[in-house]
A and B are shown apart, each in its own frame.
Chain A
């Protein structure tokens, strides 16, 4: 589980590396014995710390490969890939059909690589007696159909709904996959009184003292101060808690793949980098940062 200071440190280090690359990248002198390769990597803010950690470790192992990592959001990364300004786009969602069409119209064949997974944990106060919920119940809670904990087997107290801000990819994922249960024609919205907190930190702080509250967060942000609920797709069960195992065998229902997209089949140094990311070494970093390794 990453602490915030560790994360900050990682990104600072990587930023330093990045500045170093910027300084040396434009001058590939022929006298240089090992020609430097620069892989430009951009996209999802959810993944930016992960991508920085990968870049840092990879550069340490192979100094001839330079990596430049920036965030900006999944859409920004994919747009940059289509414009051929990056080698790899990070995305916390799959590429949209219209984005794929746009890419193809410009002669870019976007190839998808699942590089990690992210489980979204539904969390409540530690003393909340509710242990498990179905997806339908969570949807009804967040859309405002269920307003008291007693309706889902808890105490007779009001439910305080906590969510991330609308600019968060996690918010949009939760809206589409949980509130609307993955149905694209569903127009269900978050209840108007849902608290929109600007950070994951805000959600865990509020859940630390508020027995009425329910929230959701990436598994990497969940602390021992809160209770993680077991979730089921239907009332028949099975109810499962988020973990690397339940995400990878698809029994935990609220998880998403994290992607890197390359323009055309990856080859050369880019392919080597992707292979390293999927290697045990690369996936160990995934687990360190609180995400779910793929295939593990």
Chain B
């Protein structure tokens, strides 16, 4: 009786362990499978389109122009602009919620930010196209409201809740004793935030920033609605206030009608590969920084 029960629970434990293991491995398998699929569909483009054309400055695939540079730079311009807006604001908001705000305010702000993070981006895109773009057109005297700047503002707005939510969690996880020790040494509140809490939560804050940038990089619908989608090569700083075309918007706009297996189809997958590599690099950079922080912390402690 006893042994049977034992074996059943052991069997159960084995099954649970294996399920968890498979779930864990599946993430790795899926990432590789996706990349393999992208490669299989996108690599033919490298053979079909001469490299000189891929590096050209004109993207107009229905007439055989496959220059990736304008849409690559368009993506970078919009994403960087969004990061410049979202990172300082997001971290500041997280610090405010975690460290400064009184308890009542904090309990209202936190769920509100989380709701904001869950808003569908197409809704924000709609607000962008009907409210933000006309306002920017009027206030800044632009030739059109559909610009890289509009996209960056909107993307920043989309990325902020993600950054706030994750960064606040990691600030919250910093042990109370750290703050109390700093307070005992006579540190001001600002000194505690800047010299103790933020550095202690640095890896979590960095993950927050990375997730925010990742959200911006992959954002499609809102960006497609407000950036005007003109594949102009952004050459000067003034390009920020002119329309651009991003890689995600290009894929979304053109994938629907493209003939399966055509050069255009393969090139869209090539864009997917480039996007994959960029987000991989962002992850890698963040991971290496986090790793470096950790090893230094371990050295200090030992």
A contact residues vs B (CB 8 Å cutoff): 73, 157-158, 160, 165-167, 172, 187, 189-190, 192-198, 202, 205-206, 208-210, 212-213
Contact B253 A195 (CB under 8 A): no
The answer on a CB contact under 8 Å between B225 and A206 is no
Nearest Cβ distance between residue A28 and chain B, in whole angstroms? 34
Residues of B226-243 at the interface with A, using a CB-CB cut-off of 8 Å, are 228-233, 242-243
* A195-B258 contact given A165-B253, A206-B133, CB 8 Å threshold: no
| Distance, CA A197 to CA B224, complexed state (A) | 8
Cβ–Cβ < 8 Å partners of A73 in chain B: 257
Q: What are the 6 A-B residue pairs with the smallest beta carbon separation, nearest first?
A: A167-B257, A195-B228, A209-B134, A196-B229, A160-B144, A165-B253
A166-B249 Cα distance, complex, nearest whole Å:
12
Inter-subunit contact A209/B245 (CB<8 Å): no
Check if B254 is an interface residue, CB within 8 A of chain A.
yes
Residue from A166, A172, A194, A212 with most neighbouring chain B CB atoms (10 Å): A166
Q: How far is the CA of A127 from the CA of B132 in the complex (A)?
A: 21
Q: Cα distance A210–B145 when bound, in Å?
A: 8
Give B contacts to A, CB under 8 Å: 57-58, 60-63, 65, 70, 129-130, 133-134, 137-138, 143-146, 224-225, 228-233, 242-243, 245, 253-254, 256-258
Q: Using A193-B243, A206-B144, A210-B144 as known contacts, say yes or no to A167 and B253 having CB atoms under 8 A apart.
A: yes
Q: Is the CB–CB distance between A193 and B232 below 8 Å?
A: yes
Q: Given contacts A166-B60, A166-B254, A206-B133, is CB(A212)–CB(B143) below 8 Å?
A: yes
- Nearest A-chain residue to B242, judged by Cβ: A193
The answer to whether A206 touches B146, judged by C-beta atoms less than 8 angstroms apart, is yes
18 additional contacts, CB 8 Å, given A189-B60, A190-B60? A157-B143, A166-B254, A167-B254, A167-B258, A192-B58, A192-B70, A192-B233, A193-B230, A195-B144, A195-B146, A195-B229, A195-B243, A196-B253, A205-B130, A206-B144, A206-B146, A209-B133, A212-B144
A290–B57 Cα distance when bound, in Å, is: 39
Residues on the A chain within 8 Å of B70, using CB: 192
Cα–Cα distance between A192 and B243 once the two chains are bound (Å): 10
Q: How far is the CA of A209 from the CA of B138 in the complex (A)?
A: 9
Complex Cα distance, B144 from A158, in Å, reads: 10
Q: Do the beta carbons of A196 and B61 come within 8 Å of each other?
A: no
Contact A172 B62 (CB under 8 A): yes
- CA distance in complex: A97, B224 (Å): 36
**Min distance, Cβ A124 to any Cβ of chain B, angstroms:** 13
Can you list 21 A-B contacts with CB-CB less than 8 angstroms, sorted by A residue number?
Answer: A165-B253, A166-B60, A166-B253, A166-B254, A190-B60, A192-B57, A192-B233, A193-B243, A195-B228, A196-B229, A197-B146, A197-B228, A197-B229, A198-B253, A202-B225, A206-B133, A208-B134, A209-B133, A209-B134, A209-B138, A212-B144
Asked whether, in the complex, the Cβ of B230 is within 8 Å of the Cβ of A194, the reply is yes
Task: A172 to B233: give the CA distance in the assembly, Å.
Answer: 23
Q: Is the CB of B253 within 8 A of A213?
A: no
A198 to B58 CA separation, bound complex (whole angstroms) = 19
Q: Which chain A positions have C-beta within 8 A of B63?
A: 187, 189
Asked whether B58 lies within 8 Å of A166 as measured between CB atoms, the reply is no
Closest-CB distance, A135 to chain B (whole angstroms): 20
CB distance from B122 to the nearest CB of A (A): 11
User: Shortest Cβ distance from A288 into chain B, in angstroms?
Assistant: 27
Residues of chain A lying within 8 A (CB to CB) of residue B231: 192
Q: How far is the CA of A260 from the CA of B122 in the complex (A)?
A: 35
Give, as a whole number of angstroms, the nearest-CB distance from B301 to chain A: 54
Q: A165: shortest Cβ distance to chain B, in Å? A: 5
**How far apart sit A190 and B59, CA to CA, in the bound complex (Å)?**
11
- A195 and chain B: residue at smallest CB distance: B228
Q: Which residues of chain A are near B60, meaning CB under 8 Å? A: 166, 189-190, 192
Q: Which residues of B contact A172 (CB under 8 A)?
A: 62
Chain B residues near A195 (CB-CB < 8 A): 144, 146, 228-230, 243
A205–B129 touching, CB < 8 Å: yes
Alpha-carbon distance between A201 and B123 when the two chains are bound, in angstroms:
15
Which chain B residues border A210 with CB–CB below 8 Å? 134, 137, 144-145
A244 and B44 CA atoms in complex are apart in Å by: 48
* A8 CA / B225 CA spacing, docked (Å): 21
Contact A167 B256 (CB under 8 A): yes
Q: How far is the CA of A157 from the CA of B243 in the complex (A)?
A: 17
Minimum C-beta distance from A210 to chain B (A): 6
